[in-house]
Amino acid sequence: MACHTDEDDYGNVVQWWDEAVTRYIYGANSPVSSEDPTRGTSFLIVTRVLLLPKTFALSPFDKITLPDEPGYEYSVEGVQSEGTRNPFGWNPGGTVTVRRVDA
């Protein structure tokens, strides 16, 4: 789901997302979890790396739901990599890191 921002009547930034669409990826690593010591031990951070086709475009703050973890929503962290920087002259796709925080 693509993230958009608007301003409300009071000048506050409001984020909203497009409706969900089904798109396919090449694969993803298993969930990797860690606890952020600055937030206390009640927060669990789960990170995954997705392998994307070259036509798959994501932006920071877009949201992703993966079929192997229904009910969990990940946010895109940073920008996605691209596969054009290789010595073979073809673009196999790229990767993107997604993260969720469970309270």
**Residue 82 pLDDT class (50, 70, 90 cuts):** confident
- Cβ neighbours, 10 Å, residue 39: 12
- Let me know: does 15 contact 60? Beta carbons within 8 Å: no
Whole-number pLDDT of residue 57: 85
- Let me know: does 5 contact 15? Beta carbons within 8 Å: yes
- Cβ neighbours, 10 Å, residue 74: 23
Percentage of the chain modeled with pLDDT above 90: 27
Q: What is the pLDDT of residues 17-76, one digit of tens each?
A: 888 888 889 999 999 988 766 666 677 889 999 999 988 888 888 899 998 988 899 999
Four-residue CA torsion sign, 59, 98, 24, 92: positive
**Residue 95 bridge partners (DSSP):** 51
Whole-number pLDDT of residue 27: 92
